[in-house]
């Protein structure tokens, strides 16, 4: 016997209201679970879920995790386990087997530690300093240029100033490029920024010949090569001492997770 359309609509409406009521009830229970202590949550777990938690703790302990570390790792999982339990979903369906979830905790990557800007700037500056001095030294062995040209490009202060400018500019630009695409500055601003840096570099090159030779000495080619070696060696020591992992050409790698 077919129901009258009005009766079918009434039944569908009642079922919809029942689902809404059940959903509201579950939301209220979820809020209560969020305020419960770890011990209260543990006491409310089913035997099956309690066994799951016990196995998880045992697996982490076997890997050398301390009780405090285990408590820290399990704390965010327990509320979700109890919430899923109230919906009829056991922990092994929520997270997979205890071995699977334990392995995901043991081998999870540690948060990437951001390198302070001053360290990245120093690293970039030393790199440019070594590259520029080495290039000018090699070129100087095979060419002869005027003293004014030498002072604008191969002068010691010129090399240091240009290295600082390029180091700062490319470190900033690299930081911009690592920002998610939707949050990056507009391309027009980036182009203006690059153009501004180029203008500053050429301004430094233009003013360098007017800096007294006492302040901006011109090193011979071999002196520039030695200076380049010192700069690159200093960069190597700096990176090792301050544990700098990233550079303007490569992102940092996450450190190994600690137990």
pLDDT digits (tens, 9 = 90+) for 53-107: 999 999 999 999 999 999 999 998 999 998 888 888 999 999 999 999 999 998 8
What does the pLDDT average to over 142-168?
A: 74
| pTM assigned to the model | 0.56
What does the pLDDT average to over 166-187?
A: 81
Higher pLDDT, 255 or 46: 46
**Given this model, what pLDDT does residue 179 score?**
78
85 by DSSP, 3-state: which? helix
What percent of the chain is helix, strand and coil (3-state, nearest 5)? 75, 0, 25
Beta bridge partners of 21: none
- CA torsion angle 64 70 76 82 (round to 10): 110
**Given this model, what pLDDT does residue 253 score?**
44
The whole-angstrom separation of Cα 159 and Cα 198 is: 15
Contacts of 73 (CB under 8 A, 6+ apart): 60, 65, 105
For residue 32, pLDDT over 80 is answered with yes
Q: With 0-12 CB in 10 A as exposed, 13-18 as middle and 19+ as buried, what is 11?
A: exposed
> What is the residue extent of each domain of the chain?
18-106, 117-241
């Amino acid at each position: 016997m077919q129901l009258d359309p009005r009766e079918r609509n009434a039944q569908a409406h009642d079922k919809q209201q029942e689902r809404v009521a059940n959903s509201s009830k579950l939301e209220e229970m979820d809020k209560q679970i969020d305020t419960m202590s770890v011990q209260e949550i543990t006491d409310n777990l089913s035997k099956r879920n309690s066994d799951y938690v016990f196995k998880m703790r045992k697996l982490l302990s076997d890997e050398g995790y301390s009780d405090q570390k285990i408590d820290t790792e399990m704390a965010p999982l327990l509320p979700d386990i109890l919430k899923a339990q109230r919906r009829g979903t056991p922990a092994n369906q929520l997270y997979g087997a205890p071995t699977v979830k334990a392995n995901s905790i043991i081998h999870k990557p540690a948060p990437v530690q951001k390198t302070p800007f001053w360290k990245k700037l120093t690293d970039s500056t030393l790199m440019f300093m070594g590259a520029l001095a080495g290039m000018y030294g090699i070129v100087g062995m095979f060419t002869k240029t005027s003293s004014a040209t030498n002072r604008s490009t191969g002068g010691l202060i010129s090399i240091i100033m240009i290295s600082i400018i390029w180091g700062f500019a490319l470190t900033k630009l690299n930081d911009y490029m690592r920002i998610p695409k939707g949050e990056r500055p507009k391309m027009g601003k980036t182009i203006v920024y690059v153009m501004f840096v180029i203008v500053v570099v050429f301004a430094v090159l233009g003013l360098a010949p007017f800096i007294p030779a006492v302040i901006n000495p011109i090193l011979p080619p071999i002196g520039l090569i030695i200076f380049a070696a010192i700069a690159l060696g200093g960069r190597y020591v700096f990176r090792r001492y301050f544990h700098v992992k990233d550079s303007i050409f490569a992102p940092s790698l996450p450190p190994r997770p600690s137990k």
